[in-house]
Amino acid sequence: MIRPIATAGLLAGFLLAAGLPRTAAAQGSGSPTLDAIKARGQLVCGTAADTAGFSLPDSKGVMQGIDAEVCRALAAAIFNDTSKVKFAPLTTQNRFTALQSGEVDVLARETTWTLGREASLGFKFAPTYFYDGTGFLVKKAAGVKSVKELDGATICVQPGTSTELAIADYFRGNNLKFTPVEIEQLQQIQQAFLTGRCDAYSTDSSALAGFRYTQGDKASDFVLLPEIISKEPLAPAVRKGDDKWLDIVEWVEYAQMTAEEDGVTSKNVDTFGSTTNPDIRRLLGMDGDLGKALGLDNKWAYNVVKLVGNTGEVWDKTITPLGVPRGINALWNKGGLLYAPPMR
């Protein structure tokens, strides 16, 4: 039997390792991470800063993209203020260390949910917000129509990614050979592809579409091959050991899905004040105590929808401009995979 004092010591050790204050545990709020965020006055969110549609500063230096909106939705739920986010740009190499060490509160950086990452790195993943897959971009002039025509090709890929493993598995399984050109910095790997150092550029298909989009008038010079060779469910990650924080990250996503399903948007959310729909009344904090259960204000979901939008609005703002069809990223009742549990 573990004595209470030993349990407290273990918890304090975890908090220090995660970069969180001991006082959070002493307060008994249910989430040391949430307490640290409130004490700090802002959420620290790990993203990239170089991927159109996901996380890329605009001309005014404001981070834009679907990953950035994940962060803003959490800030809306906690503070009713989307500006209370510090974006921490991370690479594919340092993103996991940053989360493990407590440098960031949540990782929303085009990160694929895998067994190895969840079981070995000390993470828990929230629901998938983007169902993606490994794709290949080639120059139209090459005349390549299929990945299977890339036998013997050089392929630009970032090291330490699930893309790298997916390519190796696919080529080995199809008795094909390739030479990887591994470059960590995204801009450098893209430049290597543009200058002909590699025959193809491989990463998540959505990121390839985003890169092609950034080429402007020259976008038509590039072809996204039809094969998607892997499953890449992109999801926010948090540290294990703070279940209440995981609850919040999960249910902020689910609230946006529920809002879309119920037809509640950032533009019409204030028109539901007299609704008798019980699902919408619970969603918007008019009935029940769902916010209190999460350690948040009961208007948390209303604030998320009002300030950030529902899932469809976020998609239209960030991904639609890339020319990527919503497809399986639609709600379950629209032929997609997004499905929120009941909010009750």
CA–CA gap between residue 176 and residue 293 (Å, rounded): 53
Point out the residues of the chain with pLDDT beneath 70: 1-29
Question: pLDDT value at position 324?
Answer: 86
pLDDT of the residue at 10: 41
pTM: 0.83
- Secondary-structure class of domain 134-230 per CATH: alpha beta
Specify the pLDDT at position 172.
96
| Residue 289 vs residues 261, 283, 284, 296, 343: alpha-carbon distances, Å | 21, 10, 11, 10, 11
Model pLDDT, residue 3: 39
pLDDT recorded at residue 11: 43
Return the residue matching tokens 């002493």.
Answer: 26
Q: How far apart are CA 205 and CA 129, in angstroms?
A: 15
At the fourth CATH level, the homologous superfamily of domain 4-131+234-330 is Periplasmic binding protein-like II (3.40.190.10)
In tens, the pLDDT along 132-181 reads: 999 999 999 999 999 999 999 999 999 988 899 999 999 999 999 999 99
Element holding 164 (H helix, E strand): helix 162-173
pLDDT digit string, tens, across residues 251-265: 999 999 999 999 999
- Rounded distance between C-alpha atoms, residue 340 and residue 262, angstroms: 12
* pLDDT at residue 14, as a whole number: 43
The segment(s) of the chain belonging to CATH 3.40.190.10 are: 4-131+234-330, 134-230
